Every structure is written in structure tokens, then in C-alpha cells.
Amino acid sequence: MLNGGSYELNGYTYEFKGLKQVCAYLLYARYVAQSSIIDTPSGFVQHSGDNFQRISSGELKNQEGRYTEIAGTLWDECLRYLYTLQIEWFPIKSHTKNRISWL
């Protein structure tokens, strides 16, 4: 589960990345969101010709959202694997999409 793997369901083989990848994307999303504070004195920058331009806070928020969305997709793959195990203390939920958010 931590490193991912593959499983079979109804004659099809599915692959999932595992919890390590979920955590990596979530941590990177958090890093991007707070990068202007801890990355460099000038924050994230974008190369433009001979100069560098600071990336806007809106673009940083977009990047954070993209990485959080990827982590959510990978988490959904982990959940599908857990559901196939049919563990009694891990019941199948009625909704199909789980959201990951920072607490």
C-alpha cells in the first residue's frame, strides 16, 4: 500500500502508485504554497530572457491546486485498492470522490 502495486478486479489488472506518491504530491503542493516564505529570498521565479520575474501569488495558488488534485486522484486509486480487499473495518462509502484538503 505504501509503495503501490497492482491488483486484479473482474479480470482487469489495475495499478496504483501508493501512499508515498500521495504524500509527495501533498507535501509539494504545500511547499509551493509557502515557497515565497522559505524557498529563496525572492520566492519562486520565472526565467524570462536575461531576467527573472517573480511568479504571482495566483500562479502559485494554481500550482498548489494542481498538485493537490493529482494527490486526490492518487488517493482515489489507493481507496479503490482498499475496497477490493473487502476489509470489514474499511467499509465502502456511498460517494465516489474523496477530497483531500489541508486541516
Reported as a single tens digit per residue, the pLDDT across 20-74 is: 999 998 888 888 776 544 355 555 666 666 776 677 778 778 888 898 999 998 8
Instruction: Quote the CA–CA distance of 68 and 63 in Å, as a whole number.
Output: 9
pTM: 0.66
For residue 29, the model assigns a pLDDT of 86
Torsion of CA 59, 68, 14, 85, to 10 degrees: 180
The pLDDT assigned to 49 comes to 66
The mean per-residue pLDDT over the stretch 2-21 comes to 87
